[in-house]
Structure 1
Amino acid sequence: MSVTRFLLFLASLLPIVAQAQTPLAPAAVPDTVRKYENPGGVPAPGKQPWYKGKLVRATVVPAALIGYGVSTINGRGLYSSYDAQRDIQRRFPNFRTRIDDFLILAPYLELAAVELSGVETRDDRLNILLVVLKSEAIFAATTFTLKNTTKILRPDGSTRNSFPSGHTAQAFLAASIVHTEFRDKSQWYGVGAYTIATSVAALRMLNNRHWKSDVVAGAGVGILSAHLGYLTHRNRWGRKPLPGRYSIAPLAYPGAAGLTVVWRP
């Protein structure tokens, strides 16, 4: 190889050697100022219409029931409470039973039986208890206020606290909780609970203790109380289980009904 060709070969290697000796440029620091922007151009989810909101969906059916019940108080509306009670008493003049006093908590018995059989509920036991207590408080305050505000005379003439039906409201509250907890497993659990609640409403009218307006509005109050109990609950107690063992069971005896909560450390 001649000297000239050797010098040209060395000259061709100089850019490669220089590049190898040059320190690497520091990595670019990520721009955190714009990290919440949408560089990918993914469209942001649009806002749902107001009529598809949770509050509207939770209140539309109860509002319709309460509104219809109010519209048929006494002799008002199409097929009023007076019309319905006249037809019922004509067909069942001597009907009397106490089963409706105990049947109001039957949906809670269904909830406990199905859960103990191994069917998974939507919420854990502690959160179900909290929702039940909250819903029961809403129901009690609402029915007490309405009964003492409207002062409607019962069909049998006993007292002026007929509207709305507390028995019916209680039964539909419990049925709504059963439906919410098991609707992802099977709709039939809710169907059974609502059938029991409807039976309570019918028995209150057959016993001549309530008008049609009372039981229809009572169903709306019960469902609304349960829905509000869920809407205002955020499962913040579901992260850690309650220490010990606890159980919930309905309690009923002549003249009163309620729930018992037992906790064992």
Structure 2
Amino acid sequence: MTQRILFICFFWLTSLPLFAQTAGDSIPTERRYPLTSFIVPATLTGGGAALIGHPTREPFRSTGHVSSADDYLRFGPYGLRVALQLAGVKPAVNLGDEIAVTVLSNVAMGGVTEVLKRTINSTRPDGSDRRSFPSGHTAVAFTGAELLHQAYKHKSPWISIAGYAMASATAVLRVANEKHHWADVLTGAGIGIASVKITYAVYPVIKRKLQRHRKQPAS
């Protein structure tokens, strides 16, 4: 089972053409997207998949429900992006492109997460259902954190740190609340980050094709 999940994750991370975005008002580019940028999400995803079958929640044991903050904290990076926009802090890309990559990233993240949940059928630590692997809350939180990082890394590293701090807190709370094992949240974090990076990689290709289609004269 572990080998199958590792293969799915590896195929998902490497099957798409990789192009990089440049800083500016939009995301058109022809430069290659560095594969080294996928080291962190690949390590998180692969590490989590490797822990399947070895459920652990150390140092948490039967802590029960600690807090409901994780249900709201997962959306923290998205809220911070909105707050920065309202404060007049401009992101690295225009609003149209930012909305597009946000939607596409979340569609990719949600699709991969749901497929794995239905395929693995891992039991949650509290025994409530068999949808433990991977953590959806964590995937949402880290998708938001990576989107925040891509949009505002040119402004201040503290913005990125704030986003990833909220995402990490979400992951820890999911384990503390007996909803997930560490394997679940590690993989969820990797999926979230990789979904954004893949979207930024392929979005210029999609955008160019749409622009060419619009320029074609009607027959």
TM-score, with normalisation over the residues of structure 2? Answer: 0.76
Structure 2 CA distance for aligned equivalents of residues 120 and 86 of structure 1: 41
Q: Which residue of 1 aligns with 2:193?
A: 223
Q: Which residue of 1 aligns with 2:51?
A: 72
| 1:59–1:191 Cα change, 3 Å | same
Q: Which runs of 5+ in 1 are unaligned?
A: 1-51, 76-80, 238-265
Shift of 1:57: 2.8
Structure 2 CA distance for aligned equivalents of residues 87 and 96 of structure 1: 14
Q: Identify the structure with bigger relative contact order (alpha carbons < 8 Å, sequence gap 6+).
A: 2
1:149 equivalent to 2:119? Answer yes
Identity of aligned residues (%): 33
* Aligned positions of 1:184-199 closer than 5 A: 184-199=154-169
1:165 equivalent to 2:144? Answer no
Aligned alpha-carbon RMSD (Å): 1.9
Deviations 1:120-164 (A, max 9, x none): 211111111100110011011100111111111110111111110
Partner SS state of residue 61, structure 1 = helix
| 1:74–1:131 Cα change, 3 Å | same
Deviations 1:155-176 (A, max 9, x none): 0111111110000000000000
* Aligned positions of 1:79-228 closer than 5 A: 81-82=55-56, 85-89=57-61, 93-228=63-198
* Aligned positions of 1:4-83 closer than 5 A: 53-54=32-33, 56-75=35-54, 81-82=55-56
Moved over 4 A (4+): none
Equivalent residues of 2:48, 2:183 under 8 A apart: yes
Equivalent residues of 1:172, 1:222 under 8 A apart: yes
Structure 2 CA distance for aligned equivalents of residues 100 and 207 of structure 1: 9
Partner SS state of residue 65, structure 1 = helix
Q: Which runs of 5+ in 2 are unaligned?
A: 1-30, 209-219
Name the count of aligned residue pairs: 177
Shift of 1:59: 2.0
Q: Which residue of 2 aligns with 1:34?
A: none
Equivalent residues of 2:41, 2:194 under 8 A apart: yes
Structure 1 CA distance for aligned equivalents of residues 37 and 99 of structure 2: 20
Of the two, which has the highest radius of gyration? 1
Partner amino acid, structure 1, of 2:46: G
Structure 2 CA distance for aligned equivalents of residues 119 and 156 of structure 1: 42
